[in-house]
Structure 1
Amino acid sequence: MAEKRPIWTKSFINISVSTFFIFVVFYALLTFTPLYVLNDLGGTATEGGLAVSVFLLSAIIMRFFAGMILEKFGKKNILIFSLFFFTVSTVLYVFIGSFTVLLLLRFFQGIWFSLLTTVAGAIAADIIPPERRGEGLGYYGIAMNLAVVAGPFLALSLQPYVSSQAIFVILSVIMIIGFFCALAVQVDEGSFVKEQKHKLTISDFLEKKSMPIATVGFFISFAYASILTFISVYAESLGLIKAASFFFVVYAIAMLLVRPFSGRIFDTMGPGVVIIPSIIVFGIGLISLSFTASSWMLLLSGALVGLGYGTLLPSFQTLAIQAADKHRSGYATGTFFAFYDSGIAIGSVSLGLLAGFAGYSNLYLMLGVFVILVVFYYSWIMSKDRSSAQQ
């Protein structure tokens, strides 16, 4: 029996730590920026939402060009270049003086965040031994999932005690550490294949082989937008705002408990054994939210969402990368996150309108049923893929 090649190499540890810091800053700013607009810039809630949306807009647009840029300039170059400008843009928050400048900075930073997260995911996938990619990307995904808790917790814990500028300085220091971690990442681009010049086609922007699983990711992230955007508002309407602060803590604990096993099962028994139960558990978590009337029910829902959704993101990313040729891992990662980010952005807007019409309880019930139905779409996608492979 061949000895398993290691996942936890120096480069993998450094790219994972750097990614954790990137997403800590991302989620901290996502949570804190609307408060900053209201309290420091004298803006409105609508302007606070716009400051979030403009970042996502530039990030989504750049996803479609990320694969082409990685192919032209190389992954290590883009990692360092984009991380440098993401770090610089974080430092610039300290000097903001107006809402217009903030919008421009948010748009500028979204560009580099998009490139950065695309190339970091592609590099992580390349570093991991192919036979352990499900397990390895599962561990890599922990960095992003933990940041969902750590980022908002850091910003909201500091906000009552220090100035906004002090928070921006702390986030800048975090990014500088993340930048130096990335410098230590070694990228093997010896098998790098540069395609000949040709007329632009969809393949220059997206990886067609990764699009089917990316659409599944879109539907799941669309539903997950209801958690990111409305969970605190829903909990406040139920008089459970104190318990809501622990929602993502329970989510993270549940995710951490299952992650070491789910990745190994993915690699040894196949993706369906992990993905189908995870989609169902995520759907049940959303349905349980719709019936929540107490703190323990809210936290139970958080655990179910963590068990389900926390496993799906790295699983989908693994399938997207495995579907593509090795030298197009950047295109595959960019394609997946273009669909994923679009689901979050579209869900944040459209589900807010639906919640205003139907109420949050009914919204989570409908989304829970919707997510469970995604199982049938995923099964159809995979059966088509198997049929194509056999031909």
Structure 2
Amino acid sequence: MTKPKLWTKDFLLVSISNLFLFLTFYYLLVTLPVYALQEMQAKASEAGLLITVFLIAAIIIRPFAGKAMSILGKRKVLFISLIIFFASSALYFFPASIHTLLILRFFHGIGFGIATTVCGTIVADLIPSSRRGEGMGYYIMSSNLAMVLGPFLGLTIMNQWGKETMFTISALFAFCTLVFSIFIKLPNIQPTKESVTSKQSFNLKDYFEASAIRISIVAALFAIVYSSILSFVSVYAKDLGLQTVANFFFVIYALVLLLTRPFTGRWYDRYGANIIIYPCIICFAIGMYILSQTTTSAVFLIAAALIGLGWGTLFPSFQTIAIQEASPERRGLATATFLSIFDFGIGLGSFIIGLAAANVKFSSLYFYCSLFILLGIGFYYLLHGKRETISVNKEQARNA
């Protein structure tokens, strides 16, 4: 029996659009705080707010993005969000103070929050249901590649050619996102009677997808640990005297994803979520433990590979579960719910890890993170894994 086609023109277009969307995000994530400190003489706390304000805007807007898709349609909402995103990217030349820059970041976060929600929903509609684990893995790999390329390009361009070129390239990335999205042809999914009725009155369930909440909480708990990687792994490498290999951490991370994605996604579709998720949680924990004990470049990069395999596989698996639990016409709300709760975990984690880092060594911090990940096995089992096991057993009994 032939597999339904995954690599369609529209799947490639939405993945490329997502690549440039996240490329803009990560590009500015590392350059704007430096720009604010050096050019605007901002305080460190104010520079940190440039990330916090952006994420808060994305978290707030996402539930409304899910509702807007059911009223206006995915294409209109996608274009509106990408126009906001591009316009915000093009305006970074003009703020003269940290306060106006923060306002711009808030509007930029609104565009990003809506766009990521719509793109995630569109790609879920495009991927055949029998290949959803594999397809979501490849799609999310585009944002993982942006996580590697964005900081590297941002810091290189800022240091070599200055702020004007830096902001020009940022706007160009955002423009590419808009251009590629124009050619995406959306599948025709007919709304159910329930979804049509929900447009006529206010109801909390029109803004959140209840079926996605459990797995989203699991993802947010692991995101707390992942935020320690995003925020402090380069600082930790510098403390260890490994700054020369710090930039290669995410390169190795992405390389492992590229090599393993063809297998992990297919295994998810064939054997179910638990077969993938439990080993990857353990792999993530081992990677964090090795990171806490590292003293050499080789061990540092081995930790990066294990974390890339562990967390890099967990995140698309969690998002796939959130989408699969929802009915087709509520995938937008499921995506919005998942990403909002996940981003809350990233934001909360950055705050908690920042406080912890002021009182303990990074090596101890990453050791405690590895223990927290192991506790996550229990959280996953209680919130989803147990139900997954029951569902698989029933399926096997029916096929026996």
TM range, normalised to the smaller chain? over 0.9
Aligned structure 1 segments of 4 or more residues deviating by more than 4 angstroms: 385-390
Contact conserved, 2:134 with 2:269, CA < 8 A, in 1?
A: yes
- Per-residue CA distance 1:332-357 (angstroms, 9 max, x = gap): 00111011101100000111111212
Q: Which residues of 2 match residues 352-363 of structure 1 at below 5 A?
A: 352-363=354-365
Partner of 1:195: 196
CA distance in 1, matches of 2:42, 2:217: 36
The one-letter code of the counterpart of 2:208 is: L
Aligned letter for 1:357? N
Which letter does structure 2 place at the counterpart of 1:319?
Answer: I
> Aligned residue for 1:179?
178
Q: Distance in 1 between matches of 2:63 and 2:12?
A: 28
Residue identity in the other structure for 1:337: L
The superposition leaves residues 8-40 of structure 1 with CA deviations (integer Å, 9 ceiling, x where unpaired) of 111111000000000000001111110010111
Structure 1 position 382 matched with structure 2 position 385: yes
In structure 1, C-alpha distance between the alignment counterparts of 2:39 and 2:21, rounded to whole Å: 24
Report the secondary structure of 1:161's partner residue: helix
**Which secondary structure state, in structure 2, belongs to the residue aligned with residue 8 of structure 1?**
coil
Q: Contact (CA 8 Å) 1:118, 1:333: kept in 2 or not?
A: yes
What is the alpha-carbon distance in structure 2 between the residues aligned to residue 69 and residue 372 of structure 1?
Answer: 38
1:124 aligns with 2:123: yes
Distance in structure 1 (CA, Å) of the matches to 2:185 and 2:256 = 32
2:344 is matched by which residue type in structure 1? S
Give 5+ residue unaligned stretches, structure 1: none
The verdict on how the C-alpha distance between 1:387 and 1:269 changes in structure 2, with shifts beyond 3 A counting, is: closer
Residue of structure 1 equivalent to 2:397: none
Which residue of structure 2 aligns with residue 54 of structure 1?
53
The answer for the alignment partner of 1:311 in structure 2 is 313
Q: Which residue of 2 is the match for residue 155 of structure 1?
A: 154
- What do residues 170-192 of structure 1 show as CA deviations (whole Å, max 9, x unaligned)? 11112212211000101123413
Letter in 1 for 2:365: L
The question of whether the paired residues in 2 share the 8 Å contact of 1:74 and 1:189 is answered with no
C-alpha distance in structure 1 between counterparts of 2:63 and 2:98, whole Å: 28
Identify the residue that residue 170 of structure 1 maps to in structure 2.
Answer: 169
Deviations 1:65-118 (A, max 9, x none): 221111111111111110111011101112222211100000011011000000
Task: Pick from 272, 277, 280 the counterpart of residue 279 of structure 2.
Answer: 277
C-alpha separation between the residues in 2 aligned to 1:219 and 1:310?
A: 15
With the length of structure 2 as denominator, give the TM-score of the two structures: 0.94
Give the RMSD, CA atoms, in angstroms.
1.5
Native 8 Å contact 2:274 2:389 kept in 1: no
Match of 1:345 in 2: 347
Partner of 2:3: 4
Other structure's SS at 1:6 match = coil
- Partner-residue secondary structure (3-state), 1:357: coil
Partner letter of residue 80 of structure 2? F
SS at match of 2:288: helix
Instruction: Indicate how the Cα distance of structure 1 residues 206 and 388 shifts in structure 2: closer, same or farther if over 3 A, else same.
Output: farther
Identity %: 41
Aligned residue type for 1:383: K
Q: TM-score, normalised by structure 1?
A: 0.96
Which residue of 255, 258, 262 corresponds with 1:256?
A: 258
**How far does residue 283 in structure 1 lie from its aligned partner after superposition?**
1.0
Structure 2 spans left out of the alignment, 5+ residues: 395-400
Contact 1:289/1:301, CA 8 A, preserved across alignment: yes
Range that drifts further, 157-166 or 330-339: 157-166
